[in-house]
Amino acid sequence: MKVPFLDLKRQYERAIIPLHLFGQAADMDAIMEIRTLKMHGAKPKYYHHVIGYNSRLDTIQAAILRVKLNHLEEWTDKRRENARFYSKALRNIDELEIPQIAEGRRHIFNQYTIRVKNGKRDKLREFLERQGISTAIYYPLPLHLQPCFSFLGYKKGDFPAAEKASVEVLSLPVYPELKEEEREYTVEKICEFLKG
């Protein structure tokens, strides 16, 4: 069964509420540079050649978010419910490391990120994509290896834990609208891949 509606991108798009300003600009190079700068200097996504900003929020988006704040706790509770389901279902799988929450703490689960051991992360991601399950990798290149920070002089091997995480992390769909059967399907497919 292929489930094309499991789309992690929807979660990200809802988070930033992509509204666009109208108008024309004469200098396309300047437009592209501004777009790169406003997305942390990333081009392509998650690969930073310049140090940028997180400035994607305009006045219209702020007004909409002000209204949406009334739903934040409800949406967070649904994310936590999805995360609890995944954690319970995936906790005994040796090839995976699931998120841990410290005693007395709460997690919002903007992402539900597992670590896939033994170099299987990319193959699992490809398999899940073929099954209609969107995933994401936050972040494929550690900060110390980003071109924009090359002036700091760090090299591969200087931060081994960050480098290891960058090749193991995989975020599963966790958005509030995720249905029970979608969560079950995701777990079923992860288990199918790891047992195969």
Delineate the domains of the chain, giving CATH numbers in brackets: 8-19+58-195 (3.90.1150.10)
Q: What is the mean predicted confidence (pLDDT) over 145-173? A: 97
Query: Three-class SS of residue 161?
Result: helix
Q: Which residues pair with 133 in a beta bridge?
A: 6
The predicted pLDDT at position 36 comes to 75
Measured in whole angstroms, the distance separating CA 135 from the mean position of its chain's CA atoms is 8
The predicted pLDDT at position 5 comes to 41
Of 21-25, 89-93, 135-139, 163-167, which range is least confident? 21-25
> Would you say 55 and 66 are in contact if contact means Cβ atoms under 8 Å apart?
no
Using CA atoms, how far apart are residues 186 and 196, in angstroms rounded to an integer? 15
The predicted pLDDT at position 55 comes to 67
